[in-house]
Amino acid sequence: MLATLLRPPPVIARMVFFAVLFGVWEVASWLGLFSRFIAPPPSEVIPSIGLLYSDNELITRFLRTFGEVFAAAGIGSGFGIVIGWWLHHNKTAGRAYTDWFAAIAAAPLVLLFPLFLVLFGRNASTIIAMGAVAVLPAVILKTKEGLDHVPTVFIHVGRTFGLTRWQQMRLIMLPASLPTIFTGLRLGLVFALINVVGVEYLIGFGGMGLMIAELGDRFEVAGMYAAILFVVLCSACFFWATARLEKWLLSTR
């Protein structure tokens, strides 16, 4: 019993952390340590999620945003895996361009939104394109890393059995590099969500990002925090779901 209290399961530890965090936030707000207008207490923020559902079309906004997120993640991941494979297969290209993609991954790509507005206009295409561009570097780098670190003995065994290059890729290299590639896909999904919501907020078009902007413009601060909290919770759920999917795929290799 004492060992369980000292080393609680991860789920319990997370729940305790957030309970303490929200408790400190609530007490500090009621004691007047910071303005309730700037940072309303959780007792006002959490109930506002229900008001968002009834007054601000939360489900419609949610479906729109996450539809854009998955479209961007799908497009970016598809191109990213192909480019990552090319950088692995073509050693000259790998040495020449890998550092470029690493630099792009560290850049604030959301600042390119004016260029995409000119190219695509103020619509969902701009949001999806920005999200896809944000996904690319992580998927490219992790795909190349995974393929580069496949043990050479696996490749030699495949050649011994007379496998073609495509068969080696499908039966040996892809399964062996899948954990690293999945890390890139999960990072790409996070980057897609950040950029989609950010661009929605900046251009005033879309789903959850536009909702957050509108609530802020109306000085509905509790509702704005509730919308942000809802996005964070959804992001955590999707990240957990991709982790479970990764474990399932790895167990079927």
Per-residue pLDDT tens digits for 151-209 = 888 887 878 878 777 888 888 888 888 888 988 988 898 889 889 998 988 888 878 88
The pLDDT tens digits of the residues spanning 48-100 come to 877 777 766 788 888 899 899 999 999 999 999 999 999 988 888 888 888 88
Average pLDDT, the chain: 84
Q: What is the pLDDT of residues 32-46, one digit of tens each?
A: 777 777 778 888 888
Helix (H, G, I), strand (E, B) or coil at 147: helix
Q: Give the span between the Cα atoms of 49 and 96, in whole angstroms.
A: 49
**Cα 64 from Cα 58, distance rounded (Å):** 10
This prediction has a pTM of 0.82
**What residue segments make up the domains of the chain, in order of their start?**
47-251
pLDDT band of residue 252 (cuts 50, 70, 90) is: low
Encoding tokens for residue 33? 């340590």
| pLDDT of the residue at 33 | 79
pLDDT (tens digit per residue) in 144-165? 999 988 888 888 787 887 877 7
Look at phi and psi of residue 244 and say left if phi exceeds 0, alpha if psi is from -120 to 50, else beta.
alpha
pLDDT band (50, 70, 90) for residue 2: very low
Q: How many CB atoms lie within 10 A of CB 130?
A: 28
pLDDT digits (tens, 9 = 90+) for 103-135: 888 888 888 888 888 888 888 889 999 999 999
Q: 47-251 sits in which CATH class? A: mainly alpha
Most confident of 10-14, 29-33, 120-124: 120-124
